[in-house]
Amino acid sequence: MSTSFLYPRLRRMFSDRGGNFGIMTAIMAPVLLGVAGVAIQVGDMMLSKQQLQEAADSAALATATALANGTIQTSQAEAFAQNFVAGQMANYVQSGVDFKSGTSVNVQTSTSGKSTSYQVTVSPSYDLTVNPLMQAVGFKTQHLSTSGTTVGGHSQTQGSISMFLALDKSGSMGEATATVNADDPTESYTYDCNLHYNSKNNKWVYDKCTGSRTNYYTKIEALKIAAGNLFGQLNSADPNAEYVRTGAVSYDINQYTPSNLAWGTAGVTSYVNALQANGGTNSSGAMSTAYSSLTAKNAAGNDAEDSAHKLKTGQTPKKYIVFMTDGDNNDDSSGGRSYDTLTKATCDTAKSKGIEIYTIAFMAPAGGQTLLHYCASDDSHYFQAEKMEDLLAAFKAIGAKASAQMTRLTN
C-alpha cells in the first residue's frame, strides 16, 4: 500500500479529538473513585474517632469513681475500664472487634492524710474496616487510637455524722415474724393433753405434754439484728470511732432513759440488745428526745454536736434520726391522735433544721404507716417493711447511705 494513501488517513486519525473524554474518563475513573472513597472514609473516621474518644473519657471517669467509692480495687481497674470501653463501643462497631485487648489502662494513686485520689488514663484502639471504594484502591483497614484521662480523678474525704435512733419496744414487738430463727429453728413447748376424769378430785383434768414447733424470730429480735447490721456498717466506715456519734431512745406508751450520743456505736449496741417488748405506743416523747439530743447546746451556748465534731475532726456533722415503729400511737383520749400531732410537730422542726429523718414501718397498721411516711424527709427515706427481711434491708440501706456520707466523693 502506497504512503500517499496512508499518510492523509493517519494524519486525520491523530488530529481527531472526538474520543478524548472517553479516554480521560477511563484513565481518571479509578482516581475519582479513590478520592470519593477517601472523602467518605474521612467522615466515617472522624465520627468513629469521636465515639472512641467519648468511650475513653467515660471509661476513665467511671473507673476513677469506682476506685474512689470502693466499688473496685486497683487490681480490678484495668478489666473494669476495658469492659466499659467494649460496652460503649458495642453500640457503634460491628461485632468481632476486640476492644478489651486493644485498650491499655494506667492508674496513678496519690494519698494525702485520709484523702486518696485516683488519676486514670484509658487508651483504646482498633482497626476500622474501610468502605468498598477505599478497598478498591488497595486499603483494607484504618487504625484508630485515642486516650482519655480523668482530671485529677476523685478524692476520698471523711465526713462526720451524728445519728439518733427512736425505737418502738411496745408489746406487739414481742410477736413472731414469719422468718425462722436460723440459730434455733425449733423450740419446745408444753400444752394440755389427755383429758381424763380424776376420781380423787372428782373433776376432769388435763395432763401436761411437751412438743416441738418451728421457732420464729420475734419482731424485737429482728430489730436487734437489723440495728446491729447498721452499726456494723458504721464501724466499717469509721473503725477508730473518730467521725461517728450515735445515740438511741426506746419507747412504748412511755419513753425510756436514752443512750446518749457518744463516739462510735458501742453504747447504742448494748442499749438496743437489752430492749424487751411490752406496753402501748406513744412515739412523741422519744422523737422529741432524738431531736433535742441532736440540737442541744453546750455550756458556751453553741451546738453541742457541732462543737464535739469540730473539736475532733474540724467538721460539721450531718445529722440523722432513725424512727421505727410496728404500731399505731394509742392509749390517749383520741386513740393516739394527739401523740401523732406532737410527733409530726417534732418531725417538722427537725427537718427544718436540716436533720434527715429515716422512718421504718415494720409490719405496721395504716395509722403507723401514715405517721412515718409524714415524718420521713422524702419518699426515699421511708421504708415499709412487711417482713423481717424487709427490715434488715431497710437498716442496711440506711447504713449504706450514712456510710456514703462518711466517705464522700469530691472533684
Question: Cβ–Cβ contacts within 10 Å for residue 15, how many?
Answer: 7
The count of other CB atoms within 10 Å of the CB of residue 67 is 26
* DSSP H or E stretch at residue 17: none
Q: Per-domain residue ranges for the chain?
A: 21-155, 161-175+217-410, 185-216
Q: Give the three-state DSSP class for 331.
A: coil
Contact assessment for residue 251 and residue 285, using Cβ atoms and an 8 Å cutoff = yes
Provide DSSP, 52-115: HHHHHHHHHHHHHHHHHTTSS-GGGHHHHHHHHHHHHHTTTS-TT--TTTTEEEEEEEEEETTE
Q: Write the pLDDT tens digit of every residue in 197-212.
A: 998 888 999 999 999 9
CATH topology of domain 161-175+217-410: Rossmann fold (3.40.50)
C-alpha cell at 11: 494524519
R_g of the chain, CA atoms, integer Å:
38
Q: Which residues of the chain, if any, have pLDDT below 70? A: 1-44, 94-95, 112-115, 130-140, 151-158, 407-411
pLDDT at residue 409 in the model: 42
Task: Look at the block and give the residue holding cell 438511741.
Answer: 248
pTM of the entire structure? 0.62
Q: 165 and 246 in contact (C-beta within 8 Å)?
A: yes
pLDDT of residue 98: 85
Q: What is the three-class DSSP state of 334?
A: coil
**CB contact at 8 A, 258 and 248:** yes
Those residues whose C-beta lies under 8 Å from the C-beta of residue 378, and which sit 6 or more positions away, are: none
Q: Which amino acid type is present at position 23?
A: I
3-class secondary structure, 201: coil
Q: What residues contact 338, with CB distance under 8 A and at least 6 apart? A: 332
Alpha helices in 196-283 (DSSP H): 219-237, 266-273
Distance CA 133, CA 151 (A): 41
**What CA–CA distances, in Å, run from 42 to 48, 131, 301?**
10, 10, 71
- How many helices (H) does the chain have, and how many strands (E)? 11, 16
Q: What is the pLDDT of residue 123?
A: 94
Running DSSP on this structure, what letter comes out for residue 154? -
Residues 244 and 159: beta-carbon distance below 8 Å: no
Residues 180 and 222: their CA atoms lie apart, in Å, by 11
**Cα angle for residues 245, 224, 382 (degrees, 5° grid):** 70
What's the pLDDT at 148?
Answer: 84
Q: What separation, in Å, do the N-terminal and C-terminal C-alpha atoms of the chain show?
A: 95
pLDDT value of position 154: 45
Residue of 273, 263, 274, 270 whose CA lies nearest to 234: 263
